[in-house]
A and B are shown apart, each in its own frame.
Chain A
Amino acid sequence: MQKRQKREEACIVNMVDRFHYNTVLSQVFSPCGNFLAASNTYGDVAIYSLNNVTNPSDATKSSNGIQHPLHHVQPLEGSDICSLSSTPKFLIAGGIGEIRGQTWESVTGAKKEKPRFKILVPAQRERSEQTDVNALQYNSAEEQLCAGCGDNNIYIFNMENGKLVRTLSGHTGFIHSINLSDNQLVSASEDGTVRLWDMRQSAATNIIKPFENPKLNRPELGKWVGAAALSDDWLLLCGGGPRLSVWHLRSMEVTTVFPMKDLKGIHVAKFHEDRIFAGGAGPHFYQFSLNGQIYGQIPTSACTVFSAELQETPQRVLSIAGSSPYIDICTTFNYLDQKLSFALQS
């Protein structure tokens, strides 16, 4: 009896340890905007109800105000999840070698339901390792799913039948992130390049190499580019080992360099309205104007931010996550509002 109790205690201790080293790689809001799904490297997807988050109940207020997820789902049956995306109907999870989709109803309703579809990422013969799906984005106009993968390629799948439409190849390092704007796609890679693609062609339309720019290069951090994003008005944002910078697409020139020193390695960079959001290895998550002025500096619980998602409706929420057992929530975009725990309530 005593022994068993001890063993149970030890189990709990291990659980805490495991979740202390929790890393959230990706988050996505449900199409209705009422739920947040966050995936970690252990293959769990934590589902939070944003109603609970913005209107915390008394029970959560009393327990340090740290809320726990409604439940966990494991769309890949326990194997690693590298990226998440969403279509109006499905929550899509990119794992290792495969992409699976699960209906949002089954995700939020805690119903046991097998993933509804599965796409296998083509395996490369010369590689012994299976391919990570590092970045996913859904193109609703074409009903296509773009997947930036660990085998240096970007695959475009037709969502109707799950067939591979096109492979965008050219990178020489794995893909960190992709971003779509109309028919243009930008990809950031470990090889230090940012490539622009036209969705209808297989070859890159443009290549940017930030590490070759002495104003951007930080040799001690490497040349990899962790994040890239496109805005509607011909601007491109990228950063990683090199500093965060905005480029003008027509001229392919750097227009703004963001100087912050405590952001060592950028993993998240986003345009939102006329602002730029950026985060990575460092104690803060930043908000800038287009010309480099700092609007906001949010301290993060994660030592490295890997994911930041924001939405305006039905609730204004910015959710920042990374290598931490907690997810930071900002409802104003300006300061830290509350923390969500990734672990289930014990």
Chain B
Amino acid sequence: MKENGDNSEPLLKKRRKTPQLNTTPPTPVKFEVEDVYQNVIDWEEKEAGNRNPDKDHQTFLETCDQFRKYMEEIATLKKKGTSEAKAQIAEKQAEAALLFVLLRKLNRLEKLRVKQARALLLSMKSTVDSKHLQLQNLLYEVLHLQKEVTKCLNFKSLDETIDLVPLNEFLRDAPDSLTKAAKDQEDPHQLQKARLEWELQQRRQLSEKLKETHEEKDKVAKDIEKQQQNLEELGPLLRKILDATKPVEACLGVKMQETKTQHELCYLLPQPLFYLYVQADAHQQASDPHLIVNIVGDEDEARRLKGSKGPSEANEDDDSDSEQELDNEKSKRRKRGHRGVDRGEERRKRLCAKHPLHVSLIICLKDGSRLELQFFYLLNLCVVCVKCTVHVAQPITGLFARELVSAEKILCSLYPGDSGLESPNFANYYQLQNVGLGQFSDLIPELGTPYMWAQKIAGLDFISHDKIAGSSSSQQARIEVSRASVPNTIAALHQRFKASLALCKQVQSLENRVVPPIPALQNMVPMKINSVVNELKPLNWNEYRSNKSTQWLAEQNQVDELDSFYRLVISRGPARAVALIALKNTYPESPPLFTLEVMWKGHFTSVDSNAVRDIEKEINVHYKELIVGQNSIETLLIAQVTRLLYCFDVYLEASSETDEDRNLFPREKVFIQATRGRTRALPLKYSEFGGGMFTQR
């Protein structure tokens, strides 16, 4: 209760909150009449702000308790029901009613406080919001600035792309005014600037120089043009002079004229033959006086052909007049207007048409033998074909030897694999099929052989072109191809011809069973040889291959079908030996290969006898000793046969173990040991020491 009373004191004060009674006005100045209500509100607000809300809460609770107490007292008094009690009740009721006033006040205060707090919260919130916005702005700005910075950092200046003079050159060449600044301050920026400056200066100078040079060039070009004109004007003049000299020439001789006509003719040649002629002629003049180069054929026809149309167009346009004309003249059989009578035949003829002119190369040897090569150009098949005739100075009597100097043997495989049996122009296969002709090889007797080397020297390089499906007529001859191959090919032909003739002569003498002595090898063969040549016969490839002793040669591709094979029989008394000889196209680079079969007391070959093997080795491996002097090409085969003969002698003499044999083959050769070493090698090697002696190798 006491507390209640204490508490109620302020309450009482509050109750007297009328403006008049307000004894404790914090702001008495505010006391203005106009808006009392407003003042009250202000006052209340202030009070609400000043008061402690917790205390108010306490007060509220206490007031509520008090009220409850009053109610209980009233309740008990009502039960008594006395009048005294009634009076007391009335008093208590008043008291309780007063408490409502207090409660209302508290409530109001609370409301105001809440309102204030709300206002405060709102204002705080708005400041937070504005701050936040500000922050966002700043962040955005930072980001933007960072972007700008990176942009700046990444910026590529134009000057970086310029190729500058190297630094040391710059320091050396540039004027001091530029270099000084750069040298003094070691500022790369300054240096760069100076270098750029220098670059600019130099470039200006150079561009000026360029302009000058251009002008100069133009001037020279004009000069040249003028000179050209002069030259052209000179042409007719010269022709006139030439015409005038003709009678003089006729008086002096025809040589000049001939060359001239040849040179005139050569312009009528198709391009490949033209290149061939030019290159071969040049080669003849430069290095090979034994070569004769000529253009042969019908000049008028060639002129007509040149005047009318190129062969390539004729190929496509079957019925064109020029084609007809060409065809007529080529075949010399059909008459104009017979068109369509035998169309297939006609087309065939046309496809195989040759150019009316051909180039003839004659390779002469010192002994007067000549190899005559005729090069034809097939207008529509676009290949060069070769026909060849051989003129030998001394007649060949040998029956088998003649084959060695046949045109095919000499020209075949001039370069490895070049048999000439197929056309190097792949398109020909289809062209021939279209008109119903078979293989190119069937046409060779008529047209000549399309060797690869012949295409090469005419400047046609088929390997480097893929012409399988394309039109062959676009095949262009190139002078550089021709230039590259003419000297080599002519040299190779020369060499081949010489080798063939040499082999032919040697085979011929063997055919006659004569082994002529070789002066250059006088010291390398014994004086007396007892074994003799009995017989020489040619073999074909299959006969050769079927022998046991030649198996390995065929297996290792040491010999092939294109080589020539002979069977040489030698003998001494009852003992016989057979040598199978393979002559290669590439003689003398590849020597003749011998395989030996000995028919004495059995049948031995190198496969089953060491001694026979040694003799073969002596001939096939050590043949280089027999290449002595300039003319070894003429004698190598004979020398090898000679070696075979004396080795056979040694074989018989040294391996005779019984008296009977020794009587048959008396020991005439001089040797120290009949056998040496574990191989029991025979003394097959001859040396002239001590008047001719045989030793083991």
Asked if chains A and B come from one complex, the reply is: yes
Q: Which residues of A are in contact with B by a Cβ distance under 8 Å? A: 1-3, 6-7, 9-10, 13-14, 16-18, 20-21, 23, 25, 41, 82-83, 128-129, 132, 134-135, 150, 174, 176-177, 190, 219-222, 224, 226, 241, 265, 267, 281, 283, 303-304, 306, 323
Stretch from B288-296, B466-474, B607-615 that touches the partner = B607-615
Contact residues in B for A303 (Cβ distance below 8 Å) = 606-610, 613
Contact residues in A for B61 (Cβ distance below 8 Å) = none
Contact residues in B for A25 (Cβ distance below 8 Å) = 677-679
Q: Is the CB of B610 within 8 A of A150?
A: no
- 17 CB contacts below 8 A, A to B, read A7-B589, A17-B558, A20-B556, A21-B614, A21-B616, A21-B617, A41-B679, A129-B672, A129-B673, A134-B678, A174-B673, A177-B678, A220-B658, A222-B657, A304-B610, A306-B679, A323-B613
CB distance from B624 to the nearest CB of A (A): 8
CB distance from A80 to the nearest CB of B (A): 8
- Check B93 for interface membership: any CB of A closer than 8 A: no
CB closest chain-A residue, reference B485: A2
Interface footprint category on B: 20 to 34
Q: How far is the CA of A151 from the CA of B679 in the complex (A)?
A: 16
CB distance from A311 to the nearest CB of B (A): 21
CB distance from A74 to the nearest CB of B (A): 18
Q: How far is the CA of A283 from the CA of B616 in the complex (A)?
A: 20
Q: Given A219-B658, A323-B610, is A18 in contact with B621 using a C-beta cutoff of 8 Å?
A: yes
- Check B271 for interface membership: any CB of A closer than 8 A: no
Q: Is the CB of B621 within 8 A of A14?
A: yes
Which one of A2, A177, A221 has the greatest number of beta carbons of chain B within 10 Å?
A2
Contact of A134 among B606, B614, B658, B677 (CB under 8 A): B677
Q: Is the CB of B679 within 8 A of A10?
A: no
Q: Is the CB of A10 within 8 A of B678?
A: no
Contact residues in A for B608 (Cβ distance below 8 Å) = 281, 283, 303
Q: How far is the CA of A20 from the CA of B550 in the complex (A)?
A: 12
Q: Given A10-B590, A220-B657, is A132 in contact with B677 using a C-beta cutoff of 8 Å?
A: yes
CB closest chain-B residue, reference A1: B488
Contact residues in A for B279 (Cβ distance below 8 Å) = none
Q: Given A134-B678, A224-B680, is A17 in contact with B620 using a C-beta cutoff of 8 Å?
A: yes
Q: Is the CB of A21 within 8 A of B677?
A: no
Question: Which residues of B from 592 to 647 have beta carbons under 8 Å from A?
Answer: 601, 606-610, 613-614, 616-617, 620-621
Contact residues in B for A190 (Cβ distance below 8 Å) = 675, 680
Contact residues in A for B488 (Cβ distance below 8 Å) = 1-3
Contact of A304 among B552, B586, B658, B679 (CB under 8 A): B679
Q: Is the CB of B657 within 8 A of A219?
A: yes
Contact residues in B for A132 (Cβ distance below 8 Å) = 676-677
Contact residues in B for A220 (Cβ distance below 8 Å) = 601, 657-658
Contact of B695 among A9, A129, A219 (CB under 8 A): A129
CB distance from A158 to the nearest CB of B (A): 25
CB distance from B674 to the nearest CB of A (A): 9
CB closest chain-B residue, reference A129: B672
- Check B365 for interface membership: any CB of A closer than 8 A: no
CB distance from A197 to the nearest CB of B (A): 19
Q: How far is the CA of A25 from the CA of B672 in the complex (A)?
A: 22
Q: How far is the CA of A266 from the CA of B187 in the complex (A)?
A: 96
- Check B492 for interface membership: any CB of A closer than 8 A: yes
Q: Which residues of B are in contact with A by a Cβ distance under 8 Å? A: 415-416, 488, 491-492, 552, 556, 558, 586, 589-590, 601, 606-610, 613-614, 616-617, 620-621, 657-658, 672-673, 675-680, 695
Q: Is the CB of B552 within 8 A of A6?
A: no
CB closest chain-B residue, reference A96: B677
Contact residues in A for B416 (Cβ distance below 8 Å) = 9
Contact of A150 among B586, B589, B620, B677 (CB under 8 A): B677
Q: How far is the CA of A219 from the CA of B492 in the complex (A)?
A: 55
Contact residues in A for B558 (Cβ distance below 8 Å) = 13, 16-17
Q: Given A129-B672, A220-B601, A303-B609, is A267 in contact with B678 using a C-beta cutoff of 8 Å?
A: yes
Q: Is the CB of A82 within 8 A of B678?
A: yes
Contact residues in A for B695 (Cβ distance below 8 Å) = 129
Contact residues in B for A14 (Cβ distance below 8 Å) = 621
Q: Is the CB of A16 within 8 A of B556?
A: yes
CB closest chain-B residue, reference A26: B678
Contact residues in B for A82 (Cβ distance below 8 Å) = 677-678
Contact residues in A for B610 (Cβ distance below 8 Å) = 23, 281, 303-304, 323
Contact residues in B for A21 (Cβ distance below 8 Å) = 613-614, 616-617, 620-621
Contact residues in B for A1 (Cβ distance below 8 Å) = 488
Which one of B552, B589, B677, B678 has the greatest number of beta carbons of chain A within 10 Å?
B678
Q: Is the CB of B676 within 8 A of A150?
A: yes
Q: How far is the CA of A16 from the CA of B620 in the complex (A)?
A: 11
CB distance from A274 to the nearest CB of B (A): 27
CB distance from B156 to the nearest CB of A (A): 53
CB closest chain-B residue, reference A133: B677
CB closest chain-B residue, reference A281: B610
Contact residues in A for B658 (Cβ distance below 8 Å) = 219-220
Q: How far is the CA of A13 from the CA of B556 in the complex (A)?
A: 10
Q: Given A20-B552, A150-B677, is A128 in contact with B613 using a C-beta cutoff of 8 Å?
A: no
Q: Is the CB of B679 within 8 A of A13?
A: no
Q: Is the CB of A306 within 8 A of B415?
A: no
Q: Is the CB of B415 within 8 A of A224?
A: no
Q: Is the CB of A2 within 8 A of B621?
A: no
CB closest chain-B residue, reference A13: B590
Q: Is the CB of A226 within 8 A of B586?
A: no
Contact residues in B for A281 (Cβ distance below 8 Å) = 608-610
Q: How far is the CA of A128 from the CA of B589 in the complex (A)?
A: 37
Q: How far is the CA of A135 from the CA of B677 in the complex (A)?
A: 10
Q: How far is the CA of A20 from the CA of B619 in the complex (A)?
A: 13
CB closest chain-A residue, reference B495: A3
Contact residues in B for A226 (Cβ distance below 8 Å) = 678
Contact residues in A for B677 (Cβ distance below 8 Å) = 25, 82, 132, 134, 150, 174
Which one of B415, B590, B610, B695 has the greatest number of beta carbons of chain A within 10 Å?
B610
Contact of B676 among A6, A9, A174, A222 (CB under 8 A): A174
Contact of A6 among B586, B606, B613, B680 (CB under 8 A): B586
Q: How far is the CA of A121 from the CA of B488 in the complex (A)?
A: 54
Contact residues in A for B672 (Cβ distance below 8 Å) = 128-129
Which one of A9, A132, A323 has the greatest number of beta carbons of chain B within 10 Å?
A323
Contact residues in A for B590 (Cβ distance below 8 Å) = 10, 13
CB closest chain-A residue, reference B606: A303
CB distance from B86 to the nearest CB of A (A): 132
Contact of B678 among A7, A9, A306 (CB under 8 A): A306
- Identify the 3 closest CB pairs spanning chains A and B, nearest first: A21-B617, A304-B610, A10-B589
Q: How far is the CA of A226 from the CA of B658 in the complex (A)?
A: 19
CB closest chain-B residue, reference A227: B678
Contact residues in B for A2 (Cβ distance below 8 Å) = 415, 488, 492
CB closest chain-A residue, reference B609: A303
With A283-B608, A306-B679 already in contact, 5 other A-B pairs whose C-beta atoms are closer than 8 Å: A2-B488, A16-B558, A150-B676, A281-B608, A281-B609
CB distance from A226 to the nearest CB of B (A): 7
Q: How far is the CA of A3 from the CA of B126 in the complex (A)?
A: 103
CB closest chain-A residue, reference B588: A10
CB closest chain-A residue, reference B659: A219
Q: How far is the CA of A53 from the CA of B590 in the complex (A)?
A: 35
Q: Is the CB of A23 within 8 A of B556?
A: no
CB distance from A88 to the nearest CB of B (A): 26
Q: How far is the CA of A281 from the CA of B613 in the complex (A)?
A: 12
Q: How far is the CA of A303 from the CA of B672 in the complex (A)?
A: 26
Q: How far is the CA of A241 from the CA of B590 in the complex (A)?
A: 39
CB closest chain-B residue, reference A221: B657
Contact residues in B for A224 (Cβ distance below 8 Å) = 675, 680
CB distance from B697 to the nearest CB of A (A): 9
